[in-house]
Amino acid sequence: MLVIHCPYCQADRPELEFANAGEAHIVRPDNMAEMTDAEFEKMFFVRQNPKGVNLERWRHIHGCGRFFNAIRHTVSDKFLKVYKAGESRPSDAEIAELMK
């Protein structure tokens, strides 16, 4: 079982307490009504799904209930970093540093 660090509980918790909530840092636009169908589709449905490092939202649903963000490697399933919701996206350089 994976052990995931929850930034709100500040502790490692078993995977079963968590739920994945899709890709992180997707900004909802203010002008949704003016978007073309193609733009809307891109924003609403199209996700990166990379083989490698992925930035994801997770929810500690059977714990503190909070959403947070995590950087996970989709091949090794290793969590490189977790950080609270609302914190800015780590730069590519920082992510590269975590990969080392």
Question: Is 10 a binder of another protein (CB under 8 A)?
Answer: yes
Q: Tell me which of 21, 35, 64, 98 binds another protein, using CB under 8 A.
A: 64
Cβ neighbours of residue 12 closer than 8 Å, sequence gap 6 or more: 3, 4, 5, 6
Burial class (CB within 10 angstroms; exposed 0-12, middle 13-18, buried 19+) of 9: middle
- Binding another protein (rule: CB under 8 A), the pick from 25, 42, 47, 62 is 62
HEC string of 48-64 equals CCCCCEEEEEEECCCCC
Could you say which of 5, 23, 57, 66 contacts another protein (CB under 8 A)?
A: 66
Q: Is 11 in the site for another protein (CB under 8 A)?
A: yes
Total site size for another protein, rule CB under 8 A = 15
20 is a site residue for another protein (CB under 8 A): no
